[in-house]
Amino acid sequence: MAQPAAAGTIRPDERFVRVGVVARLLTRPDIGALLGAVAVFFAFGYFARAVNWLGDPGIAAGWTDQAAQYGIIAVPVALLMIGGEFDLSAGVMIGSCGLLLGYLTTHAGLNVWPAILIVLAFGVAVGFVNGLTVVKTKLPSFIVTLATFFVLQGVNAAGTLKLTGTTAIDDIDGASGFSSARRFFASDLTQYDYKAKVIWWIGLTLVGAWLLAKTRFGNWIYSAGGDPVAARNVGVPVVRTKIALFVMTSATAALMGIIEALELRSMQAKEGIGLEFIFIICAVVGGCLLTGGYGSVIGTFFGAAMLGMVQLGIVDAQWDSNWTYTFQGAILFAAVMLNTLIRARAQKAR
């Protein structure tokens, strides 16, 4: 008699614990992105089995390169979204900063290293202007940074044409300091051509995740997006927090411009345009709410990984690459639906 009774009391206990863990995981913003990335990885493992998608390190080098191109800037874009703002100029800034580096090293004859410092300072300045304009005018950042986007797009195209007579700045590798800078920012790692970019991507993700979860600045980011009035009432410097986030986004875009210019040895005037939405998709897939106040840097990392895999997987599966856009749209839609569900869960009384 005693034995079945004991089993009867233990069993429901275990069940409660199990439900608790699942419910807890479902309130985490990054779990959907992790599951999605794993699903996409194995889906292409099947559809692109002809190129040994699952087993060939060279294939992985390809999609991680692509994912890093999305993921590096997606880190500050995610933080900015959690802080309640958007930056649509983050894509075009890659081009602007790469072109600036090209101009400084080829036409102005600077060494690459001081040129890099100037480009980073330019990134900081653009971010500062974006941020200051948003907090001072109280206009939606969507509009303010859209304006920055178009202004820079024009400057990139017209400036490059006037300078070189073509649509690109070439021969960046002729500048002094190029090889040491390239080794630091854009070298190939291992025999399979993993890019240094991937290290930058992982590193920035860890820094961003640490900032968000473990510092007071992280607490301020959440509150600036979640309820800026309440945050200000308890003494959070909301304005400074938001400006800092815009600066981080533009400075990271500048870093990406530097990496690309050094990797490709030349810079196209159109570089980076269109990527601004990809960064936002990465962040949304990573669990960031469009309304701010909630999200995850780790989730954004998996979001970027997923989009990188889709980009190269579609080619490796020998499908028409135009389907990439359709996939990105479908992923975005699924992610938004999932986020809405997770947020409703997080806000419901337990």
Partner 1 sequence: MTENAPASAPHLLEVDSISKYYGNVVALRDVSTHVNAGEVTCVLGDNGAGKSTLIKILSGVHEQDEGRLLVEGDEVRFASPRDARAHGIATVYQDLAMVPLMSIWRNFFLGAEPVRGVGPLRWFDSATAKRVVREQLRQMGIDIRDPDQPVGTLSGGERQSVAIARAVYFGARVLILDEPTSALGVKQAGVVLRYVVQARDRGVAVIFITHNPHHAYPVGDRFVILNRGQSLGSYAKPELDRQELIRLMAGGRELAELEHELEALTAAISP
Residues 220 to 239 in contact with partner 1, rule: CB under 8 A: 222-223, 226-227, 230-231, 233-236
CA distance linking residue 146 with residue 93, whole number of Å = 12
Integer CA distances (angstroms), 241 to 65, 108, 127, 223, 244, in order = 31, 36, 12, 10, 5
Q: From the centroid of its chain, how far is CA 26? A: 23
List beta partners, residue 189: 194
Residues 190 to 219 in contact with partner 1, rule: CB under 8 A: 210, 214-216, 218-219
CA distance linking residue 332 with residue 326, whole number of Å = 10
13 scored as a contact of partner 1 (CB under 8 A): no
C-beta of residue 313 within 8 angstroms of C-beta of residue 41: no
Q: How far is the CB of 26 from partner 1 (least distance, A)?
A: 13
What is the contact mask toward partner 1 in residues 320 to 349, using x (rule: CB under 8 A)? Answer: -----------------------x--xxxx
CA distance linking residue 120 with residue 199, whole number of Å = 19
Q: Tokens for 20?
A: 């608790």
Query: For partner 1, how many residues bind (rule: CB under 8 A)?
Result: 24
Q: How far is the CB of 287 from partner 1 (least distance, A)?
A: 12
Residues 55 to 94 in contact with partner 1, rule: CB under 8 A: none
Q: CB nearer to partner 1: give 191 or 233.
A: 233
Q: How far is the CB of 27 from partner 1 (least distance, A)?
A: 8
What is the contact mask toward partner 1 in residues 291 to 310, using x (rule: CB under 8 A)? Answer: --xx----------------
| DSSP one-letter string for 69-114 | HHHHHHHHHHHHHHTT---TTTTHHHHHHHHHHHIIIIIS---HHH
Q: How far is the CB of 292 from partner 1 (least distance, A)?
A: 9
Q: How far is the CB of 227 from partner 1 (least distance, A)?
A: 4
In the complex, the residues that contact partner 1 under the rule CB under 8 A are 210, 214-216, 218-219, 222-223, 226-227, 230-231, 233-236, 293-294, 343, 346-350
